[in-house]
């Protein structure tokens, strides 16, 4: 199985699930739980429990949460290469889930914002391995050079590359053009429908995928309850796979990350796209049916 190197963000998610409609500027009873998070670290964790050989490169604070996050990654079997920031705290995201299930995230990247090219262990960039880069690393200005350096090192080492588009609002602030330019060496792009729209101006996932293959040989669009599609340039049609049915949506956080971790091993093994998409949807459904963005221990 191809070794995967994930470069990206490591966070603690403080998930607050409101019991009633939010009483703004007042108090709302909630269930509040803490979880490991960060898109990059989530993908690495799901890959590890799927049996992939995976390393994660990121930055943590010199604090107790940073130590917990580090041990947690090791517990999943991830080769965690975390650099300790002497000043900045481990990144934290407040995930506010309304009583109707709508999610709003307030994220403080903390140490993630200082990930630098020197933090990338040279030994991990080797031929025959795969780089998966979390888009947050490029979108956040502080870590952008590290993201660009990772792409450059992977290209020089002849590694295959996939990039995830992170999140639509910050992606829009960054701008489609720079993002597409930075990531043009990726063989595969993961986007959800909102991110695909930011990058192409197209609402329709299939149309957006076709536009995106001007930059990337292969594109995967995640369409939440509608499943996901894969498109490759030069093909007449996309391949679509329906979402796996879920009994109850417990927490949608990290569904997209789990999807990537389900998709990648099958894709790297040269399986047909429909099989890789199904594998992504299967892991995403698993993520949705439990609390937090990481696999259950």
Ligand X SMILES: Nc1ncnc2c1ncn2[C@@H]1O[C@H](COP(=O)(O)OP(=O)(O)OP(=O)(O)O)[C@@H](O)[C@H]1O
| Segment interacting with ligand X (CB under 6 A) among 94-102, 113-121, 131-139, 243-251 | 243-251
254 binds ligand X (CB under 6 A): yes
25: left (phi over 0), alpha (psi -120 to 50) or beta: left
| Spatial distance between the Cα atoms of 89 and 246, rounded to a whole number of angstroms | 36
Compute CA 176 distance to the chain's CA centroid, rounded to the nearest angstrom: 18
Report the nearest approach of ligand X to the CB of residue 281 (Å): 4
Of 147 and 252, nearer to ligand X (C-beta) is 252
288 binds ligand X (CB under 6 A): yes
Maximum distance among all Cα pairs of the chain, rounded to whole angstroms = 55
- Note the residue count of the chain: 297
d(CA 179, CA 158): 21
Could you say which of 126, 246, 250, 289 contacts ligand X (CB under 6 A)? 246
Q: Which residue is nearest to Mg ion (CB)?
A: 192
Q: Total number of residues binding ligand X (CB under 6 A)?
A: 21
For residues 65 and 235, give the distance between their C-alpha atoms in angstroms, rounded to a whole number: 47
If one asks whether residue 229 binds ligand X (CB under 6 A), the answer comes out as no
Q: Which is nearer to ligand X, 230 or 259 (CB)?
A: 259
Q: Interface with ligand X includes 198 (CB under 6 A)?
A: no
In the chain the beta strands, taken as DSSP E runs, fall at 4-7, 11-18, 30-37, 54-61, 79-85, 91-97, 103-108, 130-134, 160-164, 188-192, 218-222, 228-232, 239-241
CB of 205 to Mg ion, least distance (A): 12
- Answer yes or no whether residue 4 interacts with ligand X by CB under 6 A: no
Minimum distance of Mg ion from residue 167's CB (angstroms): 9
Contact stretch for ligand X (CB under 6 A) within 13-21, 119-127, 205-213, 240-248: 240-248
| Token pair for 251 | 């927490």
Interface residue with ligand X among 6, 153, 255, 276 (CB under 6 A) is 255
Q: Which residues touch 134 (CB under 8 Å, ≥6 apart)?
A: 6, 7, 8, 9, 38, 39, 40, 43, 164, 166
- Check binding of 36 to ligand X (CB under 6 A): no
Q: Pull the structure tokens for residue 80.
A: 């965690």
Minimum gap (Å) between residue 158 Cβ and ligand X: 28
Among 92, 134, 192, 218, binds ligand X (CB under 6 A): 192
Sequence-distant (≥ 6) Cβ neighbours of residue 283 within 8 angstroms = 46, 50, 258, 259, 261, 262
State the number of CA atoms in the 13 A half-sphere of 236 facing the CB.
Answer: 0
Q: Which of 40, 252, 265, 273: binder of ligand X (CB under 6 A)?
A: 252
Indicate whether 37 belongs to the interface with ligand X (CB under 6 A).
no
Q: Does 228 bind ligand X (CB under 6 A)?
A: yes
Contacting residues toward ligand X, per CB under 6 A = 192, 222-225, 227-228, 243-244, 246, 249, 252-256, 259, 281, 284-285, 288
Contacting residues toward Mg ion, per CB under 5 A = 192
């Amino acid at each position: 199985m191809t070794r995967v190197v994930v470069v990206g963000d490591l966070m603690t998610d403080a998930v607050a699930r409101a019991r009633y409609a939010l009483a703004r500027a007042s108090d709302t009873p909630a269930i509040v739980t803490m979880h490991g998070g960060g898109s990059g670290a989530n993908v690495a964790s799901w890959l590890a429990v799927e049996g992939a050989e995976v390393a994660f490169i990121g930055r943590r604070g010199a604090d107790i949460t940073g130590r917990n996050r580090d041990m947690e990654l090791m517990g999943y079997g991830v080769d965690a290469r975390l650099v300790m920031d002497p000043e900045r705290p481990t990144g934290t995201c407040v995930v506010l889930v309304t009583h109707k299930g709508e999610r709003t995230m307030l994220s403080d990247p903390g140490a993630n914002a200082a990930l630098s090219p020197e933090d990338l262990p040279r030994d991990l960039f080797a031929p025959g391995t795969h780089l998966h880069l979390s888009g947050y690393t490029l979108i956040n200005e502080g870590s952008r050079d590290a993201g660009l350096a990772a792409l450059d090192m992977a290209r020089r080492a002849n590694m295959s590359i996939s990039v995830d588009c992170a999140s639509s609002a910050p992606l829009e602030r960054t701008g489609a053009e720079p993002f597409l330019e930075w990531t043009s060496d990726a063989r595969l792009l993961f986007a959800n429908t909102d991110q695909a729209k930011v990058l192409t101006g197209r609402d329709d996932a299939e149309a957006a995928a076709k536009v995106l293959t001007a930059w990337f040989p292969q594109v995967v669009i995640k369409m939440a309850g509608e499943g996901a599609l894969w498109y490759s340039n030069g093909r007449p049609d996309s391949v679509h796979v329906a979402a796996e049915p879920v009994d109850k949506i417990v927490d949608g956080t990290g569904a997209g990350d789990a999807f990537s971790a389900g998709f990648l091993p099958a894709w790297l093994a040269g399986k047909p796209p429909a099989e890789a998409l199904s594998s992504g949807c299967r892991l995403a459904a698993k993520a949705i049916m439990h609390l937090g963005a990481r696999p259950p221990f």
